[in-house]
């Protein structure tokens, strides 16, 4: 990487004890929000003392307190302007008022614009549906409080006002809401209920992947087997933290890879020991069989209890019916 694509920051005595994101923003021309984004995506590394430019770790939190003598490397990914024109894309709205909107996001839709996804995102659709969103949480992620992976379907809440965005962000930070997912997995665990409490960090070799790592961030998932289907399981997952790819990483670590997961499950081609129609439906999956079904919380502005269920999309309905037909 050339000098134009990276920045080095050394911490002096006056900066010691301050937050990493604040120090890096003050030491560069980058905004604090941009620094936080680069931290989340693994583009900021701490360099080993006295070792030139060898990286010590890239799993850094924005709230880390720096100390004098620390050195950090900021790698700047290639940037291109993002098109944020509103697009008339149909939305499956589960709930809406003047404060927030809850969408049943389809698989295949990216939540917010990024390089390679400059159009057709949920944000583009929301800008058409809610013209007042610009200015909330920045131009790239207006109103976005949390996210779902591109190929995970289900419920996602978006703030329509600044006050709602602040309140919802606090609720997600304190885990003061219920998020439940349904996954169809390969394997049948011996347990019926299990708390999976394993820290997650960015994969040391593959930056686009996450992995269970002892130095990672706390990650807690409650898993409950709803149905056993021979060599497969239908599992309900309740999130207590919101790490990137948390459910997919935790289930893969438990040797329960989600069917259709192209990243955390080894390539699987059901053989003739799997009866029809299950064999054809599983072989035809185009994405991980994971759905954010339930989102429940107290409305931060009205005080109303919301209990929002996102209906299963057609591909997962077909999977559920096939497994029930063969194994129930």
3-class secondary-structure state, position 50: coil
Give the distance, in angstroms, between the CA of residue 53 and the centroid of all CA atoms in the same chain. 30
Q: Given the residues 149, 151, 261, 315, select the one marked as catalytic.
A: 149
Number of other CB atoms surrounding residue 62 within 10 Å:
18
| Dihedral-angle region of residue 104 (phi above 0 means left; psi in -120 to 50 means alpha; beta otherwise) | beta
3-class secondary-structure state, position 300: coil
Active site residue 149: yes
Number of other CB atoms surrounding residue 274 within 10 Å:
21
The residues near 14 (Cβ < 8 Å, ≥ 6 apart) are none
CB 239 within 8 A of CB 181: yes
Give the distance, in angstroms, between the CA of residue 87 and the centroid of all CA atoms in the same chain. 23
CB 157 within 8 A of CB 101: yes
| Dihedral-angle region of residue 38 (phi above 0 means left; psi in -120 to 50 means alpha; beta otherwise) | alpha
> Which residues participate in catalysis according to the annotation?
149
């Amino acid at each position: 990487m050339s000098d134009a694509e990276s920045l080095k920051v050394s911490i002096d005595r006056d900066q010691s004890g301050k937050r990493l994101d604040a120090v890096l923003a003050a030491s560069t021309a980058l905004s604090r929000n941009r620094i936080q984004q680069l931290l989340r995506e693994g583009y900021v590394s701490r360099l080993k003392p006295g070792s030139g430019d060898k990286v010590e770790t890239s799993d850094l939190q924005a709230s880390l307190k720096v100390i004098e003598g620390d050195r950090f490397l900021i790698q700047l990914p290639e940037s291109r302007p993002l098109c944020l024109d509103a697009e008339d894309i149909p939305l499956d709205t589960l709930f809406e008022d003047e404060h927030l909107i809850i969408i049943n996001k389809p698989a295949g839709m990216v939540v917010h614009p990024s390089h390679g996804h400059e159009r057709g995102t949920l944000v583009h659709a929301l800008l058409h549906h809610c013209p007042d969103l610009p200015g909330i949480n920045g131009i790239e992620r207006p109103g976005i409080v949390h996210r779902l992976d591109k190929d995970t379907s289900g419920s996602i809440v978006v703030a329509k006002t600044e006050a709602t965005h602040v309140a919802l962000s606090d609720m997600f930070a304190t885990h003061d809401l219920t998020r439940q997912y349904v996954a169809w997995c390969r394997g049948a665990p011996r347990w019926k209920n299990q708390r999976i409490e394993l820290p997650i960090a960015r994969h040391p070799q593959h930056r686009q992947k996450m992995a269970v790592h002892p130095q990672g961030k706390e990650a807690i998932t409650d898993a409950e087997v709803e149905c056993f289907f021979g060599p497969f399981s239908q599992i309900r997952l309740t999130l207590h933290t919101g790490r990137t790819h948390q459910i997919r990483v935790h289930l893969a670590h438990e040797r329960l890879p989600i069917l259709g997961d192209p990243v955390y499950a080894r390539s699987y081609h059901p053989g003739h020991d799997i009866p029809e129609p299950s064999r054809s439906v599983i072989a035809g999956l185009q994405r991980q069989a994971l759905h954010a079904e339930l989102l429940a919380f107290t409305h931060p502005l009205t005080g109303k209890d919301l209990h929002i269920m996102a209906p299963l999309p057609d591909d997962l309905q077909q999977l559920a019916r096939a497994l029930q037909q063969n194994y129930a």
